[in-house]
């Protein structure tokens, strides 16, 4: 067996990109308590979480400033290998449970009696949850008189989710027209006034 401590440093695996030059978002990913060498030891799904955050910035859904505010508010994204549609959420402890591999979409659509969960892209679902984190912890929103707070917060997140789906469609319309064919992918809003 080879002595791993004798491997020259020049052959040690390194990230393909310099995270420091790629923009904020690494601080949003839950590293399971690992701080030193965080990126080098992060599981693949954590790295996918970081790149999903960067994709949302690239699409114009969030800004670097908003991502930094969420990092400062200690928002964390926990990224398991896969997640049920029903388990994607932002908790009261500013933790987002999300994965790029989402199951149970058809079951969710049947339960809600709506089509939108089937074509709902995991990136749009992450944008929805990040909007909750931003609105509640990073930059708390004021609720207008007469509005029901929970519904107002949900409508802002739905707007972000729909905007993400639209941005993805605009980026590659032929592809998304094909894969979303026959489904209503825009999520309906709630009536925030009783």
* pLDDT tens column, 83-104: 999 999 888 789 999 999 999 9
pLDDT for 146 equals 76
Which pTM value belongs to this model? Answer: 0.84
Average pLDDT over residues 128-147: 88
User: For the chain, what is the radius of gyration of the CA atoms?
Assistant: 19
CA 89 from centre of chain: 10
* pLDDT band at 155; cut points 50, 70, 90: very high
- 33, pLDDT greater than 80: no
Q: Give me the pLDDT at residue 12, please.
A: 47
pLDDT band for position 166 (50/70/90)? very high
pLDDT for res 143: 79
Which has the higher per-residue pLDDT, 185 or 46? 185
List Cβ neighbours of 108 (8 Å cut-off, separation of 6 or more).
85, 86, 117
């Amino acid at each position: 067996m080879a002595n791993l401590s004798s491997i020259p440093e020049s052959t040690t695996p390194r990230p393909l990109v310099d995270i420091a030059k790629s923009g904020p978002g690494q601080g949003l990913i839950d590293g399971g308590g690992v701080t030193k060498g965080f990126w080098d030891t992060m599981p693949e799904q954590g790295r996918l979480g970081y790149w999903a955050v960067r994709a949302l910035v690239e699409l114009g859904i969030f800004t670097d400033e908003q991502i930094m505010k969420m990092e400062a508010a200690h928002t964390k994204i926990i990224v398991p290998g896969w997640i049920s549609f029903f388990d994607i959420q932002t908790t009261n402890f500013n933790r987002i449970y999300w994965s790029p591999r989402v199951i149970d979409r058809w079951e969710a659509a049947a339960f809600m009696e709506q089509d939108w969960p089937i074509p709902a892209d995991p990136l749009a679902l992450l944008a929805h949850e990040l909007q909750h984190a931003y609105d509640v912890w990073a930059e708390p929103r004021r609720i207008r008189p007469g509005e029901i707070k929970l519904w107002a917060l949900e409508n802002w997140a739905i707007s972000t989710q729909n905007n993400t789906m639209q941005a993805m469609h605009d980026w590659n319309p032929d592809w998304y027209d094909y894969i979303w064919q026959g489904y209503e992918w825009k999520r309906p809003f709630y009536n925030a006034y009783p």
